[in-house]
Amino acid sequence: MLKNEMDQQDIYVTRSSMPSYEEYIEAIKPLWDSHFITNMGLYHRQLEKELAVFLKVPELSLTVNGHMALELAIQSFGFPDGGEIITTPFTFISTTHAIVRNRLKPVFCDIKESDGTIDETKIENLITPKTVAIMPVHVFGNVCNVDYIEQIAYKYGLKVIYDAAHAFGIRYKERGIGDYGDASVFSFHATKVFNTIEGGAVICKDHERYERLYNLKNFGIRGESLTVSVGANAKMNEFSAVMGLCNLKHITDEIENRKKCHDKYVSEFEDEEGIRILLNTKEQNRNYAYFPIVVTCNNSMHIRDKIYDNLKEIGVHARKYFWPITADQACFRNQYRDADLKVARSMSDAILCLPIYSGLSVKDVSTIAKCVKESLE
């Protein structure tokens, strides 16, 4: 059986990158001396600076998680209640929830079959007098058509907020991907290429927005007895910041190890009839955060589910990212049932993300690919 061919008995779609136990323990020792473990401490400030340099962005505001980064990024623009944000339904539910929780309305735009990103040619037809922003997603690290989107935003006076949760470390045309749009948001969740255990960040184009985000994530407190605005509590703690500083030292090796798995998958599937690798070929580097495949044969959803089940039988836990699309989730009670999202729904029924992470052996990648190909038969 294929299960007997695996180096590991349980393989998940990803595994958290972590420094050695000794490195992390040594790094957090000063916290026991200072007892300063929150409220924008030394390591929080250091991580903000180091990440801004690594990501090639002007300024960066750390948050407790990626979702709060999304919510606060939107809130920082002060959009009126009921405003509309054009976005993609082919994403993690957090993207959509961040819009709704800001009392704004998501307007779903279909995606491109080529790479899963928002179809920029369909955005303009969705703009109404209520539209305040466009919120695309660099899905699976595939960069959106940022140039085209910028032109639309400029033409109609709209803000652009990118969900860059999948795009850590990616550059497009030699610019950090977070430097595009009016703001970009990263997630540093444990499942991401770079993690701070839990965490996130908003990329700021100017210091004024950085200060606004500071107030939003810290109750608006600017002094011992001074609160200048209403805010939430969305600060990153020092233990998470230290984890981030440790992981940042090893991020190049982490990405390079993921690339070995990626390259092996490509060699297994590039000529496989019935499987398409969902990766674009734009002028960008890759972070190898995900390895998505699309089943292209007839009855694709049935075959996709068969692959998923067969992998699970040998202890491999792939994920149906993203199925169903966010517009069709139960919480929205069919209100987007008639939306023209043909490509997104079709891709959602056929997509499967295979395991990829630094510690995954090339041998196990080969066994996973073998299971996928046998399932196609």
H/E/C letters for each residue in 362-374?
HHHHHHHHHHHHH
Q: What is the pLDDT of residues 140-182, one digit of tens each?
A: 999 999 999 999 999 999 999 999 999 999 999 999 999 999 9
Residue 343 tokens, joined:
């490509």
Q: What is the pLDDT of residues 9-39, one digit of tens each?
A: 799 999 999 999 999 999 999 999 999 999 9
The pTM assigned to this predicted structure is 0.96
**Domains in the chain, start-ordered, CATH in brackets?**
2-15+250-376 (3.90.1150.10), 21-249 (3.40.640.10)
Q: What is the pLDDT of residues 257-282, one digit of tens each?
A: 999 999 999 999 999 999 999 987 67
